[in-house]
Structure 1
């Protein structure tokens, strides 16, 4: 089975390198425990967060208002655990449509509604979460793809042309697919070729794995790519794709792109770097914690990293048109808010002082941090699946330097097994995070 875009526990085996201060953002919403993938915004400024579930047809969509209040909109979305690969696939994105409709992008899986686009009427929502029984239209994307002989289909992201036709990035079929509105038919716009693997490990050819088709003119789309295993650093490109299938490289030298958007304030293209894959110590190769970034491609050809220092790995982002950027953090299950305009920025409440030590540790880990403004402090310990192992409410702390000692136990006071663990120190809406290793 070829490696394609899936977000799983294996994508969370991260670097042992401790992170520096996480002061460029605040935590806008948190406690997303079912694989936070997609984030989009509606006309009223509400954030729509899509989780792909735990593999038990339990994907869900949550609406977050401007204050950070969460309302569960829909539950029971397709979510499949692929045992052979140890991977979870499911629902990825939710988009706003005219006439109070939403479109849900459902990726690969075994549910009868996997590999489809689902349309739901928002007016049916009266406070009780909607379910699959409320779906009013199913666009059967996967059936078309498999009918052409493709082994896999994994619709991941979409955009529309001026006539309302949908352009689908299928990361399983390595293709951009057009759904023709009104006649409910499909056509392949472009299938992207594999390229030679430059490394001595992994398959001889690497899958391009397109992740987004983003319209920027009546006849042209940008296309981003992740690239499959071994996730070659610098191999990902942004293409310019004409609707007639003509494609050229627009920009290159990126690593593992999973999303794109146009900054509404200056019209520049921005891309999401999910994370960097490489040596995380001891010859182990995997994604590195905190290596996600949002990069702006300016019209003069230069590039500017506008969001960096997310605690984990980030699949998606969106703008609100008011100078704010919202980025998902898959590892810690949270949405981070970056204020790109100086006048909007919140003063950070915490900063890191040093690495957690000793690291590795046998019995106790010391975590140092500094409070810059008085704030309630919560310290969480997580395993590499994102499951919370223990949480500690430290109360409101005044400005100053602090030392927290984790004694290597879970919430029941039981010693945790050997392995890597993530810590997060949350002060108000600011945070620092990193990794520690326990050796028993």
Structure 2
């Protein structure tokens, strides 16, 4: 396996371990004040990755966790090393429900995996036909044990019971659609207009459709590698595309955000339109480190930009939200966020944003901005 820790993968080939605290390896970010207009919905999170605003006024949150001490396994050495990397794991990822009165309850705990540079676990959450679904975890070939249950999978939440709906790693291991290293990071998730779950595999570089009843997985698109312009020494002339968010507009096509891997060149991220036949067309370009994509009640797409990437990871307070209007026209509507990872809207247009997704444990939050869809641009994109 060419991929070792869940973090080092991102630096070499583009998996989204960067969306945990991983890219801050050895770095303690400066404290970042909460933007004045953002109301705290949930806090003391460790790598919040997903948020979903339900119709009953409650909010669901996915926290990726801090690995754990339940067990460990090894993956092959990094290039230039002869020592396998040890990955620890435990059920420290969480699904949190915040009711309309603001009371937070941990509904379930899920696997979280961690290597020398950070941890990662569950990623996104959505509702379909009254049921809650979650994408959970990352797995790759070469691990010293078989895939852990509820890892690299789509899960269903019923009360406090979590069951595995689809084994995304199994699909990747059998099919390997992008013909690169077998690697599966079940990441983006959306309820499709066809009654299925649509998800991005950020490790497998593809868009998948999951039947929520049978768990059957259908390949919808494979995203090609993207060119690196003037790559640093030792960096290949391409980056893996790393699909993150998936959303839908009234035309029924799927819109997918891509976050190209190392060296995370500013402006290299984009949103791609995927038609029903799998054909792809750039819809909005010039984005940076796009971690999520959602459709607002105003009919526009909203992209989450994690931040500007430096030598020690994404710099604090450089994350932003970009509104994408018809035709791919971009306008930045919120800046100064600390490593935001996801966004969700209620019917009124209030936005719920996870921040601190790539920050120190227990510093993550969910913040609410009222009437967000009416915000005017704050700067040119």
Whether the TM-score (by the shorter chain) exceeds 0.5 is yes
1:211-230 → structure 2 map (5 Å cutoff): 211-217=244-250, 219-230=252-263
Matched residue, 1:255:
288
* Bigger Rg over Cα: 1
Q: Is the 8 A contact 1:233 1:255 kept in 2?
A: yes
Quote the Cα distance in structure 2 between the aligned partners of 1:21 and 1:49.
18
From 16, 30, 39, the counterpart of 1:26: 39
From 95, 105, 109, the counterpart of 1:71: 105
Quote the Cα distance in structure 2 between the aligned partners of 1:30 and 1:181.
31
The 1:248/1:308 distance shift into structure 2, 3 A limit, reads same
Q: Is 2:289 the counterpart of 1:277?
A: no
Deviations along 1:238-284, one digit per CA (max 9) or x if unpaired, are: 011012111100010000111111221x2111111011113xxxxx3
Matched residue, 1:325:
351
Matched residue, 2:342:
316
Partner of 2:138, secondary structure, is coil
Deviations along 1:164-218, one digit per CA (max 9) or x if unpaired, are: 2222100001111122466543232211111222222433321110002212246
Larger mean Cα displacement after TM superposition, 291-300 or 220-229:
291-300
1:363-402 → structure 2 map (5 Å cutoff): none
The 1:228/1:300 distance shift into structure 2, 3 A limit, reads closer
Quote the Cα distance in structure 1 between the aligned partners of 2:349 and 2:209.
32
From 134, 155, 160, the counterpart of 1:118: 155
Partner of 1:30, secondary structure, is strand
Quote the Cα distance in structure 2 between the aligned partners of 1:205 and 1:51.
31
Matched residue, 2:51:
39
Q: Which has the higher contact order (CA 8 A, sep 6+)?
A: 2
Matched residue, 2:370:
339
Quote the Cα distance in structure 2 between the aligned partners of 1:213 and 1:318.
12
CA RMSD of aligned residues (A): 2.6
Quote the Cα distance in structure 1 between the aligned partners of 2:33 and 2:98.
29
Matched residue, 1:108:
138
Q: Is 2:314 the counterpart of 1:287?
A: yes
Q: Is the 8 A contact 2:21 2:47 kept in 1?
A: no
Deviations along 1:27-74, one digit per CA (max 9) or x if unpaired, are: 232112x32111111120111111111112221111112343211111
Partner of 1:234, secondary structure, is coil
1:38-437 → structure 2 map (5 Å cutoff): 38-55=50-67, 56-75=90-109, 77-83=110-116, 86-98=117-129, 100-109=130-139, 110-122=147-159, 130=160, 134-149=161-176, 151-180=182-211, 184-198=215-229, 199-201=231-233, 202-217=235-250, 219-264=252-297, 266-278=298-310, 284=311, 286-299=313-326, 302-310=329-337, 312-330=338-356, 331=359, 332-340=363-371
Q: Is the 8 A contact 2:126 2:191 kept in 1?
A: no
1:301 is displaced (CA, Å) by 5.5
TM-score by length of 1: 0.67
Quote the Cα distance in structure 1 between the aligned partners of 2:132 and 2:340.
23
Deviations along 1:113-153, one digit per CA (max 9) or x if unpaired, are: 2111111223xxxxxxx3xxx33453112101110135100
Partner of 1:309, secondary structure, is strand
Quote the Cα distance in structure 2 between the aligned partners of 1:342 and 1:223.
20
Q: Is the 8 A contact 2:53 2:344 kept in 1?
A: yes
The 1:341/1:181 distance shift into structure 2, 3 A limit, reads closer
1:88 is displaced (CA, Å) by 1.7
Larger mean Cα displacement after TM superposition, 227-236 or 88-97:
88-97
Any unmatched runs of 5+ in structure 2?
4-12, 68-89, 140-146, 376-381
Matched residue, 2:80:
none
Partner of 2:105, secondary structure, is strand
Matched residue, 1:381:
none
Quote the Cα distance in structure 2 between the aligned partners of 1:47 and 1:293.
21
TM-score by length of 2: 0.77
Quote the Cα distance in structure 2 between the aligned partners of 1:171 and 1:343.
31
